[in-house]
Amino acid sequence: MPFRLTSQPLARALAARGYEEPTPVQDAVLEEGTAGRDLLVSAQTGSGKTIAYGLAIASTLLGDAERFEPAGAPLALIVAPTRELAMQVTTELGWLYAETGARVVTLVGGMDPRAERRRLAEGAHIVVGTPGRLRDHLERGALQIGGLTALVLDEADEMLNLGFREDLEFLLEATPAERRTLLFSATLPKTIAAMARKYQRDALRIEVARGTAGHADIDYRAVRIAPNEVEHAIVNVLRQAEAPSAIVFCNTRESVRHLSSGLIERGFAAVTLSGELGQAERNQAMQALRDGRARVCVATDVAARGIDLPSLGLVIHAELPGDAETLQHRSGRTGRAGRKGVSVLLVPISRRRKAERLLAEARLKATWLAAPSAEEIRRLDEERLLSDPVLTDEPSEEDLTAARRLLETRGPEEIAAALARLYRSRLPAPEDVFDPGFGPDPKGGRDGFEGGERPGRKERAEPRGPVVWFRMDVGRRNNADPKWILPLLCRRGKISRQDIGAIRIFDRETKVEIAESVARKFAAAAEVSDGDDITISPAEAPAEGARGPRGKVRTGPGKGGDRPPQGKKPPHRKGAKPSAGGRNAARAEAPADRPRDKPRREKRPKS
């Protein structure tokens, strides 16, 4: 259906930009009965909210006129949570209101406040800014809002999450009571509802159904990975997608620095966005993404707010977000305005439950799969080479001359091999990754094992065929547990969980069964430690039926196996209790059946 517009300048601007039909939120704010009313709008990121409220406030600002009067004190105030979003809003409103003569001024942190004050003094019809900077100009008297007729809070939920509640309430209290207030939010928690009741007048609530707007064009994928292969998986996902631009989200600045360094070292054109960057550096990073000099942006959640890149086709969650709202905000950077996008969650075995919870809370369905393999990416590279413009474009006479000269000195196969080698040299090399083999848990199983099955502390299902025993120098005293031993074996040995049989945990060591068909490969791969400080070596089968006190399986009659190196700790375990030390170390290391050197002192009765 066409836009329900009465303003011809805005209609012409939309047509010039190729807007033929409104998105659901844009159509909802223009329905009959919305004109002049306060609006409380819930719509997902990427649903076209900026254009929606730009159209909604047009009648309030222009009335029946097609152009604004000369600029003076602002008529509209748009409040956004971040600099990037505020600048994006300014750009969108700039072309939307171009034919009306509107003057739009941006006030954001990180920019020269003196230049902003000069622009305000020259007059503005619409002011867009972040809460802190708007309040600063208001307190200094540079921003006059006595004639304000419309106030828009964009992504109000995020502004509250970022701690701008006090600044928002200050702005709301300072604006004229008769203003029109439009509150846009991806979610409507109780804090937003309370703010609406306090500062809006009989607001019309508009809720665009989830999945019908911003996220309908996003393909969600949950990629299972080994805990130490996050960076390798990111490399392969980026190489498989070959998106014009992609964002990789991390939870901390340190993670952003570490990951971006690794990607640049591998040959990716990557930039970073985090809170520690100045505005000039952020602008340079965004420009590099827009003009194609960079194709990957590694960012934190807050720094990436408001990013709108038309070519952004891929979002990777290197670390899972803290909640479902953040998952939606991150993913909403792609799949915008009818374009297709992919959102990839990297899920180590220990984070599978959290990933399922996030997807369920966001009411999203994801496809579970393994990370792209190096072999798969090499096959894709071969196909892409065949369709590369270097082969498909019509050759020039100069190209043909060079080709004939090459054929005089080299054979066709040599030339083709050189071309393939040259093509591969421009691309980051794919990584060998391991598939842990877990997936969604439909039966409520534990620890990442499908169908509700969990390997016990003594046995797992037997692999098919003969087995070979291996020994790990960690045991119960090092908090050994199948739920981290199994993925460690798969990761170190480059095998699948179906190749692993019994896992028997003793006091000071653990013995495991490995299928004989993969035992040689496992031994060679597992010999190399990947930082977990655990030794894996061939071993004899444990003595059957030998049990120590408390009924635990032991390695033989006597003292229960070799002693592991001091200070051994299981990998990827938070909060593990250290083994006994100091005055009690000898007692802790002594066999349970050895009598104590001295009897325990009896307590003296109270007199």
- CATH topology for 218-373 is Rossmann fold (3.40.50)
The DSSP secondary structure of 213-231, one letter per residue, reads STTTTEEEEEEEE-TT-HH
Structural contact between residues 91 and 165, judged by C-beta atoms closer than 8 angstroms: no
Whole-angstrom Cα distance, residue 413 to residue 419?
Answer: 10
Whole-angstrom Cα distance, residue 155 to residue 47?
Answer: 12
The DSSP secondary structure of 389-404, one letter per residue, reads HHHHSPPPHHHHHHHH
Whole-angstrom Cα distance, residue 87 to residue 128?
Answer: 8
Residues of the chain short of pLDDT 50, as ranges, are 211-214, 443-460, 546-569, 572-600, 602, 605, 607
- The total of other beta-carbon atoms located within 10 Å of residue 224's CB is 25
Whole-angstrom Cα distance, residue 120 to residue 128?
Answer: 11
Spatial strand order in the sheet of 341-348: 270-273, 296-299, 245-249, 312-317, 341-348, 218-225, 367-370
Helix 83-96 vs helix 279-290: crossing angle, to nearest 10: 60
Q: What is the 3-state secondary structure (H, E, C) of 240-287?
A: HHCCCEEEEECCCHHHHHHHHHHHHHHCCCEEEECCCCCHHHHHHHHH
Same topology, domains 218-373 and 455-572? Answer is: no
- The total of other beta-carbon atoms located within 10 Å of residue 118's CB is 11
The token pair that represents 465 in the structure block: 């065929």
Instruction: For 269-315, write each residue's pLDDT tens digit.
Output: 999 988 778 778 888 888 899 888 999 999 998 766 667 777 889 99
Structural contact between residues 114 and 140, judged by C-beta atoms closer than 8 angstroms: no
Instruction: For 490-545, write each residue's pLDDT tens digit.
Output: 888 888 888 899 999 998 899 999 999 899 999 988 888 766 678 899 998 887 65
Amino acid in the structure at residue 148: L
Instruction: For 70-89, write each residue's pLDDT tens digit.
Output: 999 999 999 998 888 898 89
Amino acid 425: pLDDT: 87
Domain ranges of the chain: 8-207, 218-373, 377-425, 455-572
Give strand pairing partners of 182: 39, 152
Decide if domain 455-572 falls under CATH 3.30.70: yes
Whole-angstrom Cα distance, residue 266 to residue 427?
Answer: 9
The token pair that represents 399 in the structure block: 């190209």
Amino acid 303: pLDDT: 67
Amino acid 446: pLDDT: 37
DSSP element (H, E) containing 61: helix 58-62
Spatial neighbors of 360 by CB under 8 A, at least 6 apart, are none
Return the closest-CA partner of residue 142 out of 166, 175, 168, 114.
Answer: 114
Task: Among 3.30.43.10, 3.40.50.300, 3.40.640.10, 3.40.50.450, name the CATH number for the domain at 8-207.
Answer: 3.40.50.300
Amino acid 430: pLDDT: 92
Amino acid 454: pLDDT: 37
Query: In terms of pTM, does the model score above 0.75?
Result: no
DSSP element (H, E) containing 117: helix 113-121
Pairing assessment for the beta strands 245-249 and 126-129 based on DSSP bridges: unpaired
Whole-angstrom Cα distance, residue 196 to residue 430?
Answer: 51
Return the closest-CA partner of residue 504 out of 529, 531, 539.
Answer: 539
Structural contact between residues 561 and 473, judged by C-beta atoms closer than 8 angstroms: no
